[in-house]
Amino acid sequence: MRRKVIAGNWKMNMLPNEAISFIQELSEKVKDTENEVVLCVPYTDIFYSVLNAQGTNIKIGAQNMHWEEKGAYTGEVSAEMLKAVGVEYVIIGHSERRQYFAETDETVNKKLKKALSVGLKPIVCVGETLEQREQGVTAKIITTQTEKALDGLEPADVEKVIIAYEPIWAIGTGKTATREDANEAVKQIRQKVAEKYGQETADRVIIQYGGSVKAANAKELFEMSDIDGGLVGGASLKAEEFSNIVNYNK
């Protein structure tokens, strides 16, 4: 049985004092869940978040990283740096980074390999635009992104990767994919993993859905056969709302 992983993506929101009170409030509300709870916070919140999440079942993640260990890369943060401050997860290739910060399938692949090599758990995002969905090329887009992201990995490493299927037209728009469409897309991604790395690996890899997940739709989505939790943006900014998503099966 795959575990549900429910990760908040705060994006460029939350000051350290807000992060601290959020984690104090959330930790109380999610202490009895069997689901994995992750908060992917801005770099400036990481230190405070890790400290305040100690002794709780909340894990802290980052939203990006560089693939080099160190060097002349002004403004960048390495996987080693994240690991050293207690980060456990890292989002890689979010569509906002692909769209606004020139992230490519190639840089996603480099980052993924680097994250795994230091023991960070990568959450790699794939997803189609509205135009691509209307053209009927969703399956091709998301399976190609998946293939390129995982290129060169051993099956044992692929199992450690979390894939987030995030249709771009559903991110921050209030439009959610129907649970059938979301499950179908996730199945296509799993099928591609099976083709490349074997059925056993595909059965183990966690694949989330993301895009306007909220407390009101979390249950119907997360109960689908292939959807293993979610990557949650806007609705992860309120502790009460996010805790209701985490506790969707309570």
d(CA 89, CA 38): 8
Nearest residue (CB) to ligand PGA, 172 versus 198: 172
DSSP class per residue in 188-217 = HHHHHHHHHH-HHHHHHSEEEEESS--HHH
Q: Which of 61, 93, 122, 233 binds ligand PGA (CB under 6 A)?
A: 233
CB-closest chain residue to ligand PGA: 233
Q: Shortest distance, CB of residue 95 to ligand PGA, whole angstroms? A: 7
Nearest residue (CB) to ligand PGA, 93 versus 211: 211
Q: Which of 212, 217, 243, 244 binds ligand PGA (CB under 6 A)?
A: 212
Nearest residue (CB) to ligand PGA, 145 versus 212: 212
Q: Which of 19, 38, 213, 245 binds ligand PGA (CB under 6 A)?
A: 213
What tokens were used for 130? 């509205």
Residue type, 116: L
What tokens were used for 214? 């909220």
What tokens were used for 90? 């890292």
Q: Which of 232, 239, 245, 246 binds ligand PGA (CB under 6 A)?
A: 232
Q: Is the backbone of residue 57 left (phi > 0), alpha (psi -120 to 50) or beta?
A: alpha
Instruction: Name the segment binding ligand PGA (CB under 6 A); options: 70-78, 109-117, 182-190, 208-216.
Output: 208-216
Angle at 87 between CA 73 and CA 240, to 5 degrees: 120
Q: Shortest distance, CB of residue 71 to ligand PGA, whole angstroms? A: 29
